[in-house]
Structures are given as structure tokens and as C-alpha cells.
Structure 1
Amino acid sequence: MHKIKRDDLVKVIAGKDRNKQGKVLHVDTKNNKVTVEGVNMITKHVKPSAGSPQGGIVQKEAAFDISNVMLVVNGKATRVGFEVKDGKKVRVAKATGKVID
């Protein structure tokens, strides 16, 4: 179980996109990377192919380190802890003590 999951709302706390918020699109647990919607945009040159017959220059999100994001709960960025409730391990917001999932 990990502190950040897909579809979580997160806030970027470091880097060029600091203070931006977005939804998590992908979490790479092996390399501790995360991809967030509309954050860390890169310009990629795409060759014409079946997927993109036109090709050209495409803007897309790039992955960055998971340590640069914080989970947002009720509009407030918070650290995440774990507790066992009813025999199930759940994520808990450190700021409020509220169960996340």
C-alpha cells in the first residue's frame, strides 16, 4: 500500500510547477515517480505513425519524483499515515486524522 495512488488530488511542493494542483494519472512505484495532470509539461517531437498520422510537436506530462507531491484532503495539503481499522489498513490524513479511503 502506498501513500499516493492514482486519481488522488495532489499539490506539487517543489520544482518549477510548485503550488500547482492536479490529479495523479500514473504512479510508478518501482522508480518512485508520479505523473500529474497538467504538471511538468514537456514538448515531445512525434513521428507520424498509426496512432498519430500527422505527427508533429506534442505537449505531454512527464513523470517526476513522488517526494515532490503532497496529498490534498479537503483543500489542504497533508502528510499521510497508516492505521488499521476493522482489520483493514487505511490511509489517514496527518493534519486532520481523517480516514482517506
Structure 2
Amino acid sequence: MSVKIRKGDTVRVIAGKDKDKEGKVLSVDVQKRKVIVEGVNMITKSVKPNAANQQGGIVNKEAPIDVSNVMYVEDGKVTRLGYTFDGDKKVRVSKKSGKTID
């Protein structure tokens, strides 16, 4: 099964501790079906000092959540996505409005 959510999409969390939060998708792992959403599912992580982070210490960062727990946001409302063919090109389509995405 393909993942219809892509990097840069605005999504809303529909299940879990961060339900109803919205954010931009930072990355997508297609094999594991996980997404990282900006400001959602925050964890604290201990980091050793390195060249990029001289100090080290405790860092807050986003953890991946399952793609089934997020929905695409279009005009402030959530919608499912589908695929259709525009000529010979496969494009994503909003199920609610029928508009093409991207």
C-alpha cells in the first residue's frame, strides 16, 4: 500500500495523545509507514556532545507517528486522499472537494 501523505503537507492528528494538533510533515518513512510532524509527539532525548552540538544534554524533538493517525488538511478541514490520472500523470485528489493536490 502506498503512503498518500508527503513531506510538506499540513496534517491533523486524529488519534493518540496529540489528537487534534496540526502541523507540517517534516519527513515520511514509506517502508515503516511513519511520519514526523512538526510539534507533534515530542520526546526528550539525551544527546552526547559532538561537533554540531558542543554542549550536548537533553534535547526535545519530534518522534515518528503512524501514517494512519494523521489526515490531510485542506482549507481547515480534514479529508481523505485518492489518486486519479490527469492524462498520463498520476495525481493526488481530495475526496471531499475533488480538487487535485500539488
TM superposition score category, shorter chain reference: over 0.9
2:4 corresponding residue in structure 1? 3
1:79 corresponding residue in structure 2? 80
Q: Whole-Å Cα distance in 2 between the matches of residues 2 and 40 of structure 1?
A: 20
Report runs of 4+ in structure 1 exceeding 2 Å deviation: none
C-alpha deviation, 1:49, in angstroms: 1.2
2:100 corresponding residue in structure 1? 99
Other structure's SS at 1:52 match: coil
2:45 corresponding residue in structure 1? 44
C-alpha deviation, 1:79, in angstroms: 0.3
Q: Does 1:54 align with 2:86?
A: no
Scaled by the length of structure 2, what TM-score is found?
Answer: 0.95
Other structure's SS at 2:100 match: coil
CA contact (8 A) 2:3 2:67 kept: no
CA RMSD of aligned residues (A): 1.0
1:25 counterpart letter in structure 2: L
Alignment of 1:56-71 (within 5 A): 56-71=57-72
C-alpha deviation, 1:2, in angstroms: 3.6
Other structure's SS at 2:28 match: strand
Scaled by the length of structure 1, what TM-score is found?
Answer: 0.96
Greater mean deviation of Cα atoms: 81-90 or 15-24: 81-90
Q: Whole-Å Cα distance in 2 between the matches of residues 89 and 76 of structure 1?
A: 24
C-alpha deviation, 1:29, in angstroms: 0.1
Q: What percent of counterpart residues are identical?
A: 60
